[in-house]
């Protein structure tokens, strides 16, 4: 009986050492699985964020938000370091006043830093600020009204991802106020012909 006893003794002898090493391995595997299950949704969320921001960037460029909201644009040369940080030219709306396209970067004091993504989306598609002011029609919200909610939120996500730039635009100016910005205005041809310097160069900053 010694012969069959030996292998079983060997097996018994093996077991403790096998289970000693198997337990930590099992714990490691469990920890790795838990980490992976936590990391996976995070990686998915990060990829989704990246996709949303890329979509927003695309829409901001094809939607020409850059033209009206970047200083220097209407003078043919955008100011370096002030991408989407607010224009230097106001739009004159007869009877309403002059409106300069504001800073869209996430600066808290002068930009959209304190706006929620939903508030940014509402300004784009409904022309309404968080304080309830209706934006002048120089901001083409009426054209953006048919934008899907997810596209408007993608634009908001992209704007939030920009480096914040401190730049306060002047205005809005009432119809009787003298604007401190340049003004884009529609005039009849003969009035235009008599303007001494119809295309002034902006003061160098
Ligand atoms: C034709 C010029 C023009 C274009 C194009 C334009 N905007 Fe504007 N936008 C303005 C003007 C002007 C205002 C300010 C109106 C006012 O103060 O009543 C404004 C206001 C805003 C505001 C409110 C900001 C604030 O601080 O009150 C947001 C947000 C905004 N625009 C986002 C966008 C986005 C995003 C796009 C592109 C999808 C865009 N705009 C395209 C001219 C433009």
pLDDT tens sequence across 51-61: 999 999 999 99
Helix axes 2-62, 149-161, angle to 10 degrees: 90
Residue 34 CA to ligand 1 centre (angstroms): 46
Rounded Cα distance between 198 and 112, Å, is 33
Ligand 1 neighbour 119 (Cβ under 6 A): no
* Confidence (pLDDT) at 31: 56
Condensed to tens digits (0 to 9), the pLDDT of residues 64-102 reads: 999 999 999 999 999 999 999 999 999 999 999 999 999
CA-to-CA dists, residue 33 to 36, 45, 47, 131, 160, angstroms: 5, 19, 21, 48, 34
* Confidence (pLDDT) at 45: 75
- Residue 200: helix, strand or coil by DSSP? coil
- Whose Cα sits closest to atom 2 in ligand 1? 68
pTM of the full structure: 0.81
Label the pairing between strands 89-93 and 182-184: parallel
Ligand 1 neighbour 89 (Cβ under 6 A): no
Bridge partners (DSSP) of residue 100 are 90
DSSP 73: G
* pLDDT, greater one: 19 or 140: 140
The full set of domain ranges for the chain reads 69-186
* pLDDT, greater one: 37 or 11: 37
Ligand 1 neighbour 117 (Cβ under 6 A): no
Mean local confidence (pLDDT), 120-132: 97
Least confident of 14-28, 52-66, 69-83, 133-147: 14-28
State the sign of the Cα–Cα–Cα–Cα dihedral 113, 132, 69, 55. Answer: positive
CA-to-CA dists, residue 124 to 46, 62, 97, 121, 150, angstroms: 25, 14, 20, 5, 12
């Amino acid at each position: 009986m010694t012969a069959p006893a030996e292998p079983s003794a060997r097996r018994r002898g093996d077991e403790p050492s096998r289970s000693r090493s198997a337990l930590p391995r099992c714990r490691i595997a469990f920890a790795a699985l838990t980490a992976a299950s936590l990391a996976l949704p995070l990686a998915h969320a990060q990829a989704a964020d990246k996709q949303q921001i890329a979509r927003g960037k695309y829409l901001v460029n094809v939607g020409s938000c850059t033209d009206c909201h970047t200083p220097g644009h209407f003078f043919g040369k955008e100011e370096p370091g002030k991408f989407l940080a607010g224009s230097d030219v106001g739009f004159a709306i007869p009877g309403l006043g002059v409106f300069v396209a504001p800073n869209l970067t996430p600066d808290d004091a002068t930009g959209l830093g304190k706006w929620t993504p939903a508030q940014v989306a509402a300004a784009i598609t409904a022309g309404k600020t968080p304080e309830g002011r209706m934006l002048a029609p120089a901001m083409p919200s009426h054209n953006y009204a048919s934008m899907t909610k997810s596209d408007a939120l993608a634009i908001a996500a992209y704007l939030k991802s920009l480096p914040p730039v401190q730049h306060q635009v002047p205005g809005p100016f009432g119809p009787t106020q003298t604007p401190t910005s340049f003004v884009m205005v529609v005039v009849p041809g003969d009035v235009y012909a008599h303007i001494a310097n119809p295309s002034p160069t902006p003061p160098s900053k």
